[in-house]
Each structure stands twice: as C-alpha cells, then as structure tokens.
Amino acid sequence: MRGANLNTEPTSGLSQHIVLMEKATLKKLVTIGRGGTGKTSFVALQTKYFIEERSTPLLLVDADPDQNLGEMVGVDLKEEGKMTISELLMETFLKEGGTTVGVVPTERIENRIWAQGMHEGDLFDFISVGTKWVEGCYCLPNAALKGALEAVTKNYKYVLIDSPAGLEHLNRRITSKVDDIFDVMDPSKKSFDHIDRAYRIATEVKIEFKNFYVVGGFRFPESLEDKAKSTLKFEFLGKIVRDEKVEELVLAGESLLNLPSDSSAYLSVEKIMNKAEHTKK
C-alpha cells in the first residue's frame, strides 16, 4: 500500500505539493484506558467507521502486548509470515548472542518493520509491537515504533493506535504529536481517576494533542453518563452500546469488521466519531 512508501528523494513541483497535502491531512488517534474497558473493540469499530466513510488508507498500530487488535480486524501476522516489532528486534539484535548495547534501534530496523512486520491490505495496513521479548521494559520496541511512525505516516489519512492498559506508555511517548486522545472508561472510581492522571501525564511529558475525549465502554451504564458529563473536565462523547453480536464475534475470534452496519455497537461508535467531527457529513 502507498502508506508504506519509504521514498526519501527530494520532491518538487506537483509531487511536492501532494506530499505537503498528505502531511496536512494525516490524523493520529490514540485510544487509551484501563484494562477491560473495551478500548481494543473501540479501535476495531473506529476502523469499520472509517472504512464505511471511505476515509482510507488507514494504519492500525497495536501497541498493546496482549495483541488483540489484529484478531479483531481479521489480521494474523504469524500466518502471513510477518513478525511483530519485538520479534524483529530480537532477530536483528539478539540472535546468536547479539546485544542492543549502544544501538539506536530505528537505524537498523526501520525498513525491516515495513518489509517484514506489516500486514498490507486494500483499506488498511497493520503493525504490532508484540509481546515483550526480554526482561525489562518496552523501551526498545517503543523507540523503534516511534521512529517508524515518524518516518512514514504522512501517507495515511488516519493512524489509529491501540495503547496498552495503564499510563506508562504515555511517559514513553510512542508518538509525541496526535490529534485526538480517546480515554475509554468503565463504571469505577479508578476509571474516573485514570482520566485525570492520563491528561496530566500527557501534558507533563509534552505530548501535543488537540482534543482529549472520554468514551464510556460496553460496561458503562447510561445512569452514569450525567455524572461523567458533570464531573469530568473533558467532553464525554457517549458510550459504546453493548451488542451480543460483538461478543459472539470476539468469542469466535472473528473480525469486528464483519459486523452489520446496523449493529447497535457500530451505530454508537459512529455517533461518537461524528461528535468528534471525524468525516461528519
């Protein structure tokens, strides 16, 4: 797909104008939230929304080590002979007793991510950070992902990032500039507290973002919507409606992109995205 174009030759005239237009129209959307709130399902339904609205090509980034997003959009990297970023780092730097000491990962792995770690589709591409491969934190995989995103995302209309649970990833700044942050919440005090902490951390580590939105997950009851709107400092866009068909597809390991367009869950996400004024007609 053209989203993986790594051409770095100087441009001029019409071609330079096209590149500048692509830079101007690209939008990065990051979804965060505590574990179990339904954020990965939300990203999958966001994907369906943009496909339905013909706002493609998309780049989907699974930054969650649980690696659920691929299954929810019908992608199996292993089956395609592709590798996660963590696996590529292992093979590139640690195979046969190698080391990562003194290495800047993006200098040696960036091209491998796009050649060996990307699912390329007609409507979206997909990459995954993957499960941690050595003791310690995700600093190297996250650094490699950040470098790769900064290099090629100008060719996509939207980049959708599914972040891991918790807030540590915000400190590492997988991406330093985004358009919208969506915090998916559950009906708990911890979830309400998470939103304030997430906003504070994002601000403190100087992540540039235009909008910080709050979304109620599948388990968030309508009875709490008024509280969310009155107590939170950020715009509450609505809740994702619980849909048995979603649960059936997830249990069967099938893609949520196969949901019918009249699915109550999909329609609720469509309403949420329209409130955020993405492709709103």
Q: State the average pLDDT over residues 117-144.
A: 78
What's the rounded Cα separation, in Å, for the pair 43 and 32? 10
What's the rounded Cα separation, in Å, for the pair 45 and 246? 10
Helices vs strands, H then E, count in the chain: 11, 8
Q: What is the pLDDT of residues 193-228, one digit of tens each?
A: 989 888 998 888 888 899 999 999 999 999 999 999
Query: Would you list the domain boundaries of the chain?
Result: 22-275
Instruction: Using the predicted structure, report yes or no on whether residue 24 has a pLDDT greater than 50.
Output: no
- CATH number 3.40.50.300 is the correct assignment for the domain at 22-275: yes
Instruction: Using the predicted structure, report yes or no on whether residue 4 has a pLDDT greater than 50.
Output: no
Residue 191 in tokens? 């979830």
Residue 9: band (very low, low, confident or very high) from pLDDT cuts 50, 70, 90: very low
pTM of the model: 0.84
Instruction: Using the predicted structure, report yes or no on whether residue 87 has a pLDDT greater than 70.
Output: yes
Mapped onto helix, strand or coil, the DSSP state of residue 134 is coil
